Amino acid sequence: MQVEILYRPSYSLARVTLGGNETIRAEGGAMVSMSASVTLETKATGGILKSLARSVLGGESFFMNTYRAPADGGEITLAPALPGDIVARPIQNESFMVQSGAYLASDESVNVDTKWGGAKTFFASEGLIMLRCSGTGMVLFSSYGAIHEKDLAAGETYTVDTGHLVAFTEGIGFKVRSVGGIKSTLFSGEGLVVDLTGPGKAFLQTRSQDAFLAWLLPLLPKPDSK
């Protein structure tokens, strides 16, 4: 499998070249185009219970699509719903934590499971709901806005707004907390943050979907009350 990311960072498109009989598993709705000879199978990956947990807790589709190339290979292009970047990350007998909604695709050999990373609270909508991608293969995840990579040294702590956290290597310590006291949490425009402690690598997005919606929704016309 070869992955090329085009048009980054604002409207990225992943062009995946598959070898003979090679497969890729993708989130529902991620496919933009594909070779005519590539076949599609839709199933509840990992069984009903795992798929239900991934859908309810992880914010991903209950069913996932598996694309298989014919003997002479094929091509598929993938893109997320929101404008932003795509990262193609190879993993080798390791695990990666990916924020809810950021998972795009992976090798079929990569196990995608749900792991709860912190409860949603009354004060903010950004709970940390993570997908755990483990094994060996390629993982593709997306962002809203551009991707900013941050390498953390052993013992180094770095604070990130949870709405901007995309993914990080498993093994990084993390603790979710509110910003300041109740008053600053309610009125500062900030919600929850996560303290990441290295060693490891974190991927951040330069825009927050929740922040954009908080700006947009008050501007939308309201239905006439009768």
Most confident of 32-46, 106-120, 124-138: 32-46
Start-to-end CA distance of the chain, whole Å, equals: 58
- Provide the pLDDT for residue 66: 94
Q: Per-residue pLDDT tens for 14-59?
A: 999 999 999 999 998 999 999 999 999 987 554 444 444 444 444 4
* More confident: 87 or 44: 87
Task: Please report the pLDDT score of residue 127 as a whole number.
Answer: 54
Q: What is the DSSP letter of 211?
A: H
Is the pLDDT assigned to residue 203 strictly greater than 80?
yes
In contact, 160 and 126? CB cutoff 8 Å:
no
pLDDT at 106: 95
Average pLDDT of 65-92? 96
**Whole-number percent of the chain with pLDDT over 90:** 57
What pLDDT score was predicted for residue 63? 66
Fold type of domain 2-218: Double-stranded beta-helix (3.60.160)
Sign of CA dihedral 210, 32, 168, 146: negative
Mean pLDDT of the chain: 83
Q: Does the reported pTM lie above 0.85?
A: no
Domain edges within the chain: 2-218
Radius of gyration of the chain (CA): 19
**Rounded distance, CA 189 to CA 219, Å?**
17
Instruction: Give per-residue pLDDT as tens, 164-201.
Output: 999 999 889 988 888 765 444 444 445 688 899 999 99
Q: 188 is written with which tokens?
A: 């500062």
